[in-house]
């Protein structure tokens, strides 16, 4: 076996990546992005994935093969590390691969370094002038916080984006031909597990609750992974005063000299905190006179939408986003303007909570197959909630392209059988559950379309959520992306999404959260 190459010099995109022998595990969104970036730098790339014979995956595999990658699809390639790859210099793994996967444990046993795609992205930043990262993790609220943060940064006149676990692969943001001034990075515990050298300018863990224990092996390991968000932070570690675990993670982190701990709280802020003073979001951390006064960042009215005051978790997310932005010198006015202009995407790929380690996402606005396809490609393991009025649309291409991501499907609505037929043709191995016509009330006795009562429709979504949760595994996403209009049952897609969100909330309120 030849000597394994040192990775110490691979600290920027212009480093000598040529000839590096890399195994990429998983041909999902992050795996494809990693393989593509490595091939562009003349690395020798082998991609391993258990999938086979599925259209979307085969298309991605063919693209990589044209670029001279060795792509191996099929379960026989992932039962262990292939013998001819035992001298690999590096493994880059996708978030869906658990640390105890046979390929990864074999690599570790041979002393092959394992990186996640976020670690790879950090090491591929420009050698000079790289955009600073503001990193966010937590069991809940990550996406809203990074989106708020991006809005604040943009209001400050900075070219900024939200990337990472939020949807846009971080490699795409780092390698964008028009460089960003700053990047708001959402990081999952899976991504953090494989990170080692990321050094954000400011970082935040919003909260820690039991989650993904099956992936990490224990709650302690999950918590430790969340704590890695603070490692090597340069200026400020933002923690949740109401969640002492996050403060302890800051205390335990190895940060850069001069880095500060800054708390956010829904109560009155103490010194070196941001918090609430009556209805004012106040800063006692990033002003010179913080010992005796506070600066007004925004008010609760700036977060109020359609006359509805913000929920406490939304205020907490806003305070965390504000603290991160203030850490890099964003002025008070930009915080206010960013939060005032921020519009949560209530029915477009919106996280609506987690139950038993399963993430629920509302994309009720996906009222046609094209929109649903965009949503389905955003996640790797999905229980898909679909159905309604297809309006004559063909769903065969949608199903064929998504089948490698589908854990199961829950169907409802007028044209559910058309989707079921497409699943039979293109994804016969995927379990399908139908919410019956008797439960939906989607057709009246005279054959005319009729919408259900509010109570009946809420009950429908309660059943949908229960059935989907029964089919999902921890770490999966239950995705409402109907590919169809809602008018057979609901007055509009917004009402459908609201009922879905309400059903998730009711399930959480029954004490079945992760």
Judge whether 7 lies within some domain.
no
Do the domain assignments include residue 6? no
pLDDT at 222 over 50: yes
Mean pLDDT in residue range 211-216? 74
Residue 302 has what pLDDT?
96
pLDDT of residue 270: 95
DSSP tag of 229: G
pLDDT confidence of residue 513: 44
What's the rounded mean pLDDT across residues 6-10? 94
Could you tell me if 254 and 149 lie in one domain? Answer: yes
Band (pLDDT 50/70/90 cuts) for residue 444 is very low
Q: For residue 514, tell me if it sits in a domain.
A: no
Residues 337 and 364 in one domain: no
Token pair 């939408």 is at which residue? 305
Domain that holds residue 72: 21-120
Please, how many CA atoms are within 13 Å of residue 178, restricted to the half-sphere of its CB?
Answer: 4
Residue 141 and residue 281 in one domain: yes
**Most confident segment among 244-248, 358-362, 439-443:** 244-248
pLDDT of residue 179: 94
The pLDDT of 67-73, averaged and rounded, is 96
pTM: 0.71
Report how far residue 43's alpha carbon sits from residue 47's, in angstroms, rounded to the nearest whole number: 12
Q: How far apart are the first and last CA of the chain?
A: 45
Which of 214-218, 233-237, 492-496 has the highest average model confidence (pLDDT)?
Answer: 233-237
The pLDDT value recorded for residue 448 is: 33
Task: Using the predicted structure, report yes or no on whether residue 260 has a pLDDT greater than 80.
Answer: yes
Q: 293: number of CA atoms within 13 Å, CB side?
A: 6
| Positions at the binding site | 138-144
pLDDT for the residue numbered 216: 85
Q: Is residue 100 part of a domain?
A: yes
pLDDT at position 451, please? 52
Specify binding-site residues for ATP. Answer: 138-144
Q: In this structure, is residue 208 part of a structural domain? A: yes
Average pLDDT over residues 199-219: 86
- Indicate which CATH number applies to the domain containing 41: 3.40.50.720
Say what the pLDDT of residue 499 is.
Answer: 94
Q: How much is the average pLDDT of 346-353?
A: 76
Both tokens of 157, joined, read 């006149």
Work out the angle between the directed axes of helices 29-40 and 55-66 (0-180°, nearest 10).
Answer: 10
Measured distance CA(202)–CA(194) in Å, rounded: 19
Q: What is the mean pLDDT of the chain?
A: 90
What is the average pLDDT across 475-492? 91
Q: What is the mean pLDDT of residues 159-170?
A: 87
Q: Give the CATH number of the domain where residue 237 resides.
A: 3.40.1190.10
Same domain, 154 and 242: yes
Q: Lowest mean pLDDT: which of 12-16, 53-57, 220-224, 251-255? A: 53-57
> Does residue 116 sit in the same domain as residue 254?
no
- Average pLDDT on 438-464 reads 62
Q: 143 and 273: one domain?
A: yes
Residue 274: CB atoms within 10 Å: 27
- Residue 447 has a pLDDT of 29
From 211, 238, 253, select the one nearest 317 (Cα to Cα). Answer: 238
Which of 275, 306, 341 is a domain's end point?
341
Q: Are residues 274 and 421 in the same domain?
A: no
Q: What is the CA radius of gyration of the chain?
A: 24
* Residue 99 within a domain: yes
In the numeric block, the tokens 């010992």 are attached to: 291
Q: Specify the CATH number for the domain of residue 477.
A: 3.90.190.20
List, for residues 81-119, the tens digit of each pLDDT value.
999 999 999 999 998 798 999 999 999 999 999 999 999
Let me know if 363 is exposed, middle or buried by CB neighbors in 10 A (0-12, 13-18, 19+).
buried
- For residue 437, pLDDT over 60 is answered with no
Q: Pick the range with the lowest mean pLDDT from 27-36, 63-72, 443-452.
A: 443-452
Say whether both 79 and 157 belong to one domain. no
CA gap 227, 247 in Å, rounded = 10
Q: Are strands 182-186 and 160-164 parallel, antiparallel or unpaired?
A: parallel
Predicted local confidence at residue 372, as pLDDT: 84
Give the pLDDT mean for 283-299: 92
Please give the structure tokens belonging to residue 192.
Answer: 């953090």
Cβ contact 87:63 at 8 Å: no
Residue (of 376, 401, 377) closest to 386 by Cα position: 376
Instruction: Decide if 434 is inside a domain.
Output: yes
- State the pLDDT confidence band at 438, using cuts at 50, 70 and 90: very low
Query: pLDDT tier at 194 (50, 70, 90 boundaries)?
Result: very high
Residue 441 has pLDDT above 60, yes or no: no
Task: Return the minimum-mean-pLDDT range out of 280-289, 412-421, 441-450.
Answer: 441-450
106 belongs to a structural domain:
yes
In this prediction, residue 487 carries a pLDDT of 85
In the predicted model, is pLDDT for residue 221 greater than 90?
yes
pLDDT exceeds 90 at position 56: no
Same-domain status, 32 and 87 = yes
What crossing angle do the helices spanning 244-252 and 219-227 adopt, rounded to 10°? 60
CA gap 337, 270 in Å, rounded = 24
- Could you tell me which residues come within 8 angstroms of residue 509 by beta carbon, excluding any fewer than 6 positions away? none
pLDDT of residue 313: 79
Residues 116 and 161 in one domain: no
Element containing residue 341 per DSSP (H, E): helix 332-341
pLDDT at residue 446 in the model? 29
Spatial neighbors of 512 by CB under 8 A, at least 6 apart, are 355, 356
User: Which of 74-83, 121-130, 418-427, 453-462 is predicted with the least confidence, judged by mean pLDDT?
Assistant: 453-462
- pLDDT, position 201: 98
**206-210, 409-413, 489-493 — most confident range:** 409-413
Pick from 341, 364, 383: which residue ends a domain? 341
Above 70 in pLDDT, residue 167?
A: no
**Which residue has better confidence, 286 or 140?**
286
Q: How confident is the model at residue 511 (pLDDT cuts 50, 70, 90)?
A: low
- Look at residue 227 and give its three-state secondary structure: helix
Strands 273-277 and 280-283: antiparallel
Pair (99, 232) in one structural domain = no
Choose the final residue of a domain: 282, 315, 341.
341
Transcribe 294-322 into DSSP letters: -EEEEEHHHH-BTTBPPPHHHHHHHHHHH
- Taking CA 166 as the corner, what is the angle to CA 394 and CA 67, rounded to the nearest 5 degrees? 70
- What's the total number of domains in the chain? 3
Query: Would the pLDDT of 143 be above 50?
Result: yes
144 and 264, same domain (yes or no): yes
Q: Counting Cβ atoms within 10 Å, is residue 308 exposed (0-12), middle (13-18) or buried (19+)?
A: exposed
Distance CA 427, CA 418 (A): 13
pLDDT-derived band of residue 347, with 50, 70 and 90 as boundaries? low
């Amino acid at each position: 076996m030849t000597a394994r190459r040192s990775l110490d010099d691979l600290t920027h995109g212009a480093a000598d990546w040529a000839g590096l022998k890399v195994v990429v595990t998983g041909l999902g969104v992050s795996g494809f992005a990693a393989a593509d970036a490595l091939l562009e730098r003349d690395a020798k790339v082998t991609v391993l994935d258990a999938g086979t014979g599925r259209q979307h995956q085969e298309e991605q595999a063919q693209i990589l093969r044209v670029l001279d990658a060795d792509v191996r699809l099929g379960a026989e390639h992932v039962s262990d590390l292939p013998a001819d790859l035992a001298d690999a210099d590096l493994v880059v793994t996708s978030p869906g691969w658990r640390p105890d996967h046979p390929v990864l444990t074999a690599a570790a046993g041979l002393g092959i370094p394992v990186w996640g795609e976020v670690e790879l992205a950090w090491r591929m930043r420009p050698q000079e002038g790289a955009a600073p990262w503001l990193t966010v993790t937590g069991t809940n609220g990550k996406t809203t916080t990074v989106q708020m943060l991006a809005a604040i940064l943009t209001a400050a006149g900075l070219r900024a984006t939200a990337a990472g676990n939020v949807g846009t692969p971080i490699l795409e943001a780092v390698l964008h031909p028009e460089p960003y001034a700053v990047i708001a990075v959402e990081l999952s515990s899976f991504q953090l597990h494989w990170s080692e050298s990321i050094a954000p300018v400011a970082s935040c863990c919003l909260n820690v609750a039991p989650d993904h224990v099956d992936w990490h092996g224990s709650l302690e390991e999950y918590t430790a992974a969340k704590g890695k968000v603070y490692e090597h932070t340069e200026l400020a570690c933002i923690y949740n005063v109401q969640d002492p675990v996050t403060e302890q993670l800051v205390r335990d982190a190895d940060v850069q000299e001069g880095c500060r701990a800054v708390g956010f709280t829904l109560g009155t802020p103490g010194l070196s905190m941001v918090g609430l003073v009556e209805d004012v979001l106040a800063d006692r951390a990033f002003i010179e006179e913080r010992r005796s006064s506070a600066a007004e960042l925004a008010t609760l009215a700036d977060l109020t939408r359609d006359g509805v005051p913000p929920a406490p978790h939304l205020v907490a997310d806003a305070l965390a986003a504000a603290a991160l932005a203030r850490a890099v010198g964003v002025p008070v006015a930009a915080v206010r303007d960013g939060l005032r202009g921020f519009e949560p995407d209530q029915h477009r790929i919106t996280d609506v909570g987690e139950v038993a380690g399963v993430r629920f996402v509302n994309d009720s606005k996906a009222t046609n197959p094209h929109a649903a396809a965009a949503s389905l490609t955003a996640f790797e393991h999905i229980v898909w909630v679909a159905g309604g009025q297809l309006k004559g649309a063909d769903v065969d291409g949608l199903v064929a392209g998504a089948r490698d991501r589908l854990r199961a499907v829950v169907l409802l609505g007028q044209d559910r059988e058309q989707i079921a037929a497409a699943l039979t043709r293109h994804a016969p191995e995927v379990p399908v559950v139908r919410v019956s016509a008797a439960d939906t009330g989607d057709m009246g006795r005279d054959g005319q379309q009729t919408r259900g009562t509010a109570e009946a429709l809420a009950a429908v979504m309660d059943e949908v959520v229960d059935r989907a949760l029964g089919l999902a595994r921890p770490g999966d996403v239950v995705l409402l992306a109907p590919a169809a209009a809602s008018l057979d049952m609901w007055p509009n897609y917004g009402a459908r999404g609201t009922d879905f969100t309400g059903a998730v909330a009711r399930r959480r309120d029954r004490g079945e959260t992760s």
